[in-house]
Structure 1
Amino acid sequence: MNSRRTFLRNAGLATAAGASALAAPAVVRAQSKITWRLQTYAGPALAEHVVKDCIDNFNKAANGEMEIQLFTADQLVPTGELFRAMQAGTIDAVQSDDDSMNSPLDIKVFGGYFPFASKFSLDVPTLFYEYGLADIWEKAYSEVGVQWISAGAWDPCNFATVNPVKSLSDLEGLRIFTFPTAGKFLSQFGVVPVTLPWEDVQVAMQTGELDGLAWSGITEDYTVGWADVTNYFLTNNISGGWCGSFFVNSDKWAEVPEHLKVLFRMCTDSSHLHRLHWYWGGEARLRAHGDKLELTTIPEAEWKTVEDAADAFWDEIAAETDRTAEVVKILKQYQADMNAAGPPYRAG
């Protein structure tokens, strides 16, 4: 800094002697190092694959101007308190779905796994960036002191269970770890939703407190150890792609120089891209070659009962507020467009 001051002072003297004025720096740098604490809803084993590289790369590229400290599920605050902690500035940023972090907004139900809103993971970013959900999310969160950054997809939502599920009747009475909205929907088929800290799930499976999970696809089951405490994987799913986002406290976001905001957005986009191919490939590979979980399927005609129930569930959610009605309208239009497009978008 002293050298820079000397340089500027000498440059000023030279200008007084007739030299050309010193040009302003091309890049505005942060005046002091910015430090954030970001907590993901993913546990440690999963975070290694779905967020750690993104944050590590940001910290390298920020070149000392900014550092993001990454914390995993429930490490600083319980997952269900993530939104409030970020809104209050206790933590600075979050990677989660709206449902798990207990967003106070009406659109929280569409985060995580909204029943049958997507068939494939690519549906999620398409809905946000081609069909207008991004504008709705950004405006909604700006009203509650949070900057919505970007959304992306993870894996589908399948059941992994101790005992085989081959018909809807097999779901009756099963104690299942799942997302709040997914649990509400599945309860009409006899499922008993159970809420636990993420890190307690594997032990709960071993002690018999849980009969299974409807939290992920098969990639996550293997990655985090759930395939070691379950025996069967149901190929029918209630959603083809988890929907989640990065969020930042609005005041903390305002303090960040523009070039670091651009960098953060680029890094979150790289995280979304990585998950698209990591999960897509993992789901196929482990179904084909995995040796821990036996695949089961509920017949298509019987599963149609669940799909039809989703239509009524969508209408129920649409009736809650004008904004939920707007989202459901977009989802229905998207579904109609995909069906009209036929293969490979939807079955003909």
Structure 2
Amino acid sequence: MTKRRDFLLGAAAAATGTTLAAPYVKAQSPIKWRLQTYAGPALAEHVIKPSIDSFNKVAQGQMEIELYYADQLVPTGELFRAMQRGTIDAVQSDDDSIAAPVDVSVFGGYFPFATRYSLDVPVLFNQWGLREIWEEAYGEIDGVTWLSAGAWDPCHFNTKEPIRSLKDLEGKRVFTFPTAGRFLSRFGVVPVTLPWEDVQVAIQTGELDGIAWSGITEDYTVGWADVTPYFLTNNISGAWCGSYFANTERWEELPDHLKELFRLCMDSSHYYRQHWYWGGEAKLRVEGTKMELTSIPDEEWDTVETAAHEFWDEIAGESERNARVVQILKDYNAAMVKAGRPYRYGKA
């Protein structure tokens, strides 16, 4: 067959006066990756699947990424080690949830009051130096390469009972992220860790009283709005900070054009989430019919923000690198307040 194919190619070249090259995809097997996201299937339809579908289409058979959902191959808390071992090739999640063994992992997910809007995250990484700090931190870890960070939705509470004061939070068993839970425990919240797919049932059985994991867009998208009739408009963070990671060996094996294609698809995913969440958060507050909006008065919620800044200083004391991140967050938020509307108004 090889001789016959060479003969046919040669005959065609002779007939046209040109030299024909064999297509790349015919010369070798396609590269296959397994990528697991933190998100369940309904949420993944928005936060990652469109970009992976695009990658597979544009790669034209040279590479194929198989997408897996929350806890499908590996429990979320074990994703980092599984990627390091090569059990899976890439991950989309926050550093905090996958137990990344770096000091800056506490800033992944929802670091309390670090951001007010989703645009704050890419600005902090691309203009204020966080990218370089993350590359430095993960450069000290063998086997995993940090690739890119982007923003998701703000962190609100959706609950079975209405929350109208800080006292209403006391004793509430809440599904949330590790660092967010560590902070919220100061206000009597009892953080609970569960597999993502078990959360809705846990609300129905009474194992959970609420969730502090998302904004209202996700509540409707994944079904939580069906079991938590109240949505607290106060939030502890303006945007979740999540990243893409890859097994270092597998990443370095990729030809440059496929690396570039993956970078473009990460950027596409980041952009999609910016408008999907931003529009959804407003529309569902106004038009949503499943959840009643509640609020804690501003003067009471200000005490939570003050406590968050004290929490920042505690985190800064854990490492020199964390101190650099906290200083950037302080400088950035001060600059946003100084810039005024629409960037900030009132306190940082």
TM-score by length of 2: 0.93
Q: Aligned letter for 1:104?
A: P
Q: What is the CA–CA distance in structure 1 between the aligned matches of 2:3 and 2:115, rounded to whole Å?
A: 58
Give, in angstroms, the shift of residue 148 of structure 1.
1.2
Partner of 1:216: 214
The partner residue of 1:192 within 173, 181, 190 is 190
Match of 2:284 in 1: 286
- 1:25–1:257 distance in 2 versus 1, CA, 3 Å: farther
Give the 3-state SS of the residue equivalent to 1:298 in structure 2. coil
Asked if 2 retains the 8 angstrom alpha-carbon contact of 1:29 and 1:257, the reply is: no
Residues 142, 250 of structure 1: 8 Å contact kept: no
Q: 1:76 aligns with which of 73, 77, 83?
A: 73
The 3 A distance-change label for structure 1 pair 255 and 7 is farther
Q: 2:336 aligns with which of 331, 335, 338?
A: 338
- The equivalent residue for 2:14 is none
Conserved in 1, the CA contact under 8 Å of 2:9 and 2:20? no
- Of 160, 163, 171, the residue aligned with 1:162 is 160
Match of 1:202 among 200, 203, 224: 200
Structure 1's unaligned 5+ residue stretches are 11-18
C-alpha separation in 1, matches of 2:333 and 2:27: 45
1:305-336 deviation per Cα after TM superposition (whole angstroms, max 9, x unaligned): 00000111000000001111111111111111
CA distance in 1: counterparts of 2:3 and 2:241, whole angstroms: 50
- Report if the CA contact (8 A) 1:77-1:85 is conserved: yes
User: Deviations 1:69-125 (Å, cap 9, x if unpaired)?
Assistant: 000000000000000100110000000000111111111100000000100000000
CA RMSD of aligned residues (A): 2.3
Counterpart residue number, 1:327: 325
Provide the rounded CA distance (Å) in 2 between the counterparts of 1:105 and 1:204: 31
Residue equivalent to 1:14: none
The one-letter code matched in structure 1 to 2:281 is E
* C-alpha spacing 1:30/1:267, structure 2 compared with 1 (3 Å): farther
Partner amino acid, structure 2, of 1:53: P
State the one-letter code of the partner of 2:109. Answer: G
Paired residue secondary structure (1:238): strand
Q: Percent identity?
A: 70
Paired amino acid for 2:226? D
User: Counterparts of 1:157 and 1:214 in 2: how far apart (Å)?
Assistant: 6
For 1:178-327, list aligned pairs within 5 A: 178-327=176-325
Match of 1:50 in 2: 47
**Alpha carbons 1:154, 1:241 under 8 Å: kept:** yes
In the TM superposition, what whole-angstrom CA distance separates every residue of 1:155-181 from its partner, at most 9, and x where no partner exists?
Answer: 000000000000000000000000000
Aligned to 2:128: 131
Question: Shift of residue 57 of structure 1?
Answer: 0.6
How far residue 149 of structure 1 moved from its aligned partner, in angstroms, is 1.2
State the AA in 1 paired with 2:166.
L
Alpha-carbon shift at residue 139 of structure 1 (Å): 2.3
Identify unmatched segments of 5+ residues in structure 2: 12-16
Letter in 2 for 1:56: D
Superposed displacement of residue 31, structure 1: 3.9
Partner amino acid for 2:196?
W
In the superposition, relative to structure 1, how do residues 2 and 191 fare at CA in structure 2: closer, same or farther (>3 Å)? farther
Counterpart amino acid of residue 292 in structure 1: K
Between 323-332 and 133-142, the greater mean CA deviation after superposition: 133-142
Task: Name the amino acid aligned to 2:298.
Answer: E
Q: Which amino acid aligns with 1:36?
A: W
Kindly state the Cα deviation for residue 29 of structure 1 after the two structures are TM-superposed: 9.8
In the aligned structure 2, how far is the partner of 1:132 from the partner of 1:269?
A: 18
Select between 227-236 and 25-34 the one with higher mean Cα deviation: 25-34
CA–CA distance in structure 2, aligned partners of residues 334 and 227 of structure 1:
34
The verdict on how the C-alpha distance between 1:217 and 1:30 changes in structure 2, with shifts beyond 3 A counting, is farther
Alpha carbons 2:225, 2:290 under 8 Å: kept:
yes
Give yes or no for contact 1:30–1:256 (8 Å, CA) kept in 2: no
1:109 aligned to 2:106? Answer: yes
Report if aligned partners of 2:154, 2:238 keep a CA contact under 8 Å in 1: yes
Correspondence for 1:85 among 79, 82, 86? 82
1:159-205 CA deviation, whole Å, 9 max, x = no partner?
Answer: 00000000000000000000000000000000000000000000000
Query: Amino acid of the residue matched to residue 237 of structure 1?
Result: N
Q: Any conservation in 2 of the 1:156–1:217 contact (CA below 8 Å)?
A: yes
- The partner residue of 2:93 within 92, 96, 103 is 96
CA contact (8 A) 1:155 1:242 kept: yes
Cα 1:34–1:299 change in 2 (3 A) is: same
